[in-house]
Amino acid sequence: MNMDTRILDAGKEYDIKAAGEILRRGGLVAIPTETVYGLAGNALDPTVSAQIYKVKGRPSDNPLIVHITSMEELPPLVTEIPEAARKLAEAFWPGPLTIIMKKSPLVPKETTGGLDTVAVRMPSHPAAQAIIRAAGVPLAAPSANLSGLPSPTVFEHVCDDLTGRVDAIVNGGDCAVGVESTVITVVTEIPRVLRPGGVSVEQLRAVLGTVEVDRAVLEKPAENARVSSPGMKYKHYAPKADITIVDASLEEYAAFVNAQPDATALCFEGEEKLLSCPCVPFGRAEDALSQAHCLFAALHTLDEIGAKTVYARMPRKTGVGLAVYNRLIRAAAFRVLVPRDEMIVGLTG
C-alpha cells in the first residue's frame, strides 16, 4: 500500500468537510477522538470494513466499533435498545463508553467480525463528531495503529503507522483520555465489561448496580480460549522492547532496577532521581488519569530510544487504573516480577 495521504486540520471547517467527503465516497480517514485516534470508514459498507482490516493487518474476526453522533442514529443499527443501554447512554454519551447490543440487518457482518452483535459508541471529541456529521454515515473506527502495536494518542504516531495506507489523517493534537473506550455488553443478563477503559467499572456500577467484569480483563487468556471480546485474545499494545512489570514499593523497585544491567525504567514522574538508568515516565503515581493519558505515548518513546529490557511500575487497578493495568500487562506479555519473591527464591535455592 502506497497511496497519497492528505494531512487535514481538525480545527479547519474546510478540512472537516473534506474528511467527510472522502468517507462518504468510501475512503479511509484517521480521525482524533477523546480516547485514541481511530481509523475510520463507512460502517455500513462491507467493502470499506474489509479495507479497514486489510490496512490495519487485523484478523477479520475482531469486530469494529461503530461511531455515531446522536441518539437518532442508534435505533437503525440495533434490534432493540435494552433499558441498561438507555441508562448508560444517558449517563456517559458522548464519551469513552462502547455499548454492545444485538445488531440490525443494516450493519454488515464484515463490520462486526461475523457476530450478531454490534458495538456502538458516541465520541465526545468535537472534531470526531463534526466528521461523522459531515460523512453522513456511522463510522467504523478501530484504533489507528497497525495491529499489535500501541494505540496512537498523538498525531505523529498515527502518521508513523498509517502514512501511505489511508486517504487522509486529521491532526487533532493529543488525545485527552489516552486509553480506549470501556466496552460493555448489555446482551448478557448482567451487563459485563469486556474491556476496561475511559469510564471506570465503579462509574458503571453507580448507574447500573451490578456489573460483571470479564475474566479476560485481568487474566492471561488460555491458548485457543473462547473469549467474549475477540480483541482480548490477540497480542496487543506491544513495543519492540521486552517489558516486565515490577510489583513492589518504589524503594524495592528502584533497588531492583538499579541492579539490572542495560535496563530502562517505565516509571512514574519524579521517580527518575532514584534511578540510575534511562527513564521513561508515564504519568504520576496515585493518578490513574494522568497514567492513562501518557501510557501509549510512553510505549512509543521506548521504541524511539531503542529500549530493550524495560521494567515498569505497577499501576493501581482501581478507577481508570484498571484500564492502564489491562494495557500494560498485555504490553508486558503478562510478565510480572515480585523482587521480594526473587530474593526468597535466591536464598532458599
Query: Which chain residues interact with ligand TXA by CB under 6 A?
Result: 33, 35-36, 38, 62-65, 96, 98, 100, 112, 115, 117-119, 121, 141-143, 180-181, 183, 194-195, 229-231
Partner from ligand TXA, Mg ion, none contacting 43, C-beta within 5 to 8 A by type:
none
Residue 217 DSSP label? G
CB nearer Mg ion, residue 138 or residue 142: 142
Query: Which residue's C-beta sits nearest to Mg ion?
Result: 143
Least separation in angstroms between residue 84's CB and ligand TXA is 15
- Contacts with 222 (C-beta within 8 Å, 6 or more apart), sequence order: none
- Residues at the interface with Mg ion (CB under 5 A): 143
Q: Reduced to 3 states, what is the DSSP secondary structure of residue 237?
A: coil
| Residue 280 interacts with which of ligand TXA, Mg ion, none, CB < 5 to 8 Å by class | none
Comparing CB distances to Mg ion, the nearer of 152 and 172 is 152
In the complex, minimum distance from the CB of residue 121 to ligand TXA, in angstroms, rounded to a whole number: 6
Q: How far is the CB of 143 from Mg ion (least distance, A)?
A: 3
Kindly tell me which of 91 and 285 has the beta carbon lying closer to ligand TXA. 91
Query: Nearest residue to ligand TXA, using CB?
Result: 231
Cα distances from 85 to residues 20, 32, 67, 120, 196, in angstroms, run 28, 25, 15, 10, 17
Residue 161 binds which one of ligand TXA, Mg ion, none, with CB within 5 to 8 A depending on kind?
none
Pick one of ligand TXA, Mg ion, none as the site partner of residue 297 (Cβ within 5 to 8 A by kind). none
Burial class (CB in 10 A: 0-12, 13-18, 19+), 349: exposed
Q: Closest distance between Mg ion and the C-beta of residue 58, in Å?
A: 8
We find the least distance from the C-beta atom of residue 286 to Mg ion, in angstroms, to be: 27
The partner in contact with residue 121, picked from ligand TXA, Mg ion, none with C-beta cut-offs of 5 to 8 angstroms by kind, is: ligand TXA
* Cross-strand bridge partners of residue 263: 309
Which stretches within the chain are classed as H helix?
13-24, 46-56, 83-92, 126-135, 155-162, 201-208, 250-258, 288-304, 321-331, 339-348
Minimal distance in Å, beta carbon 315 to ligand TXA?
19
Name the residue among 117, 29, 131, 113 with its Cα closest to residue 64: 113
Cβ atoms of 111 and 63 within 8 Å: the answer is yes
Report angle CA 113, 115, 116 to the nearest 5 degrees.
Answer: 140
Which CB, 99 or 267, lies closer to Mg ion? 99
Smaller CB separation from Mg ion, 69 or 229: 229
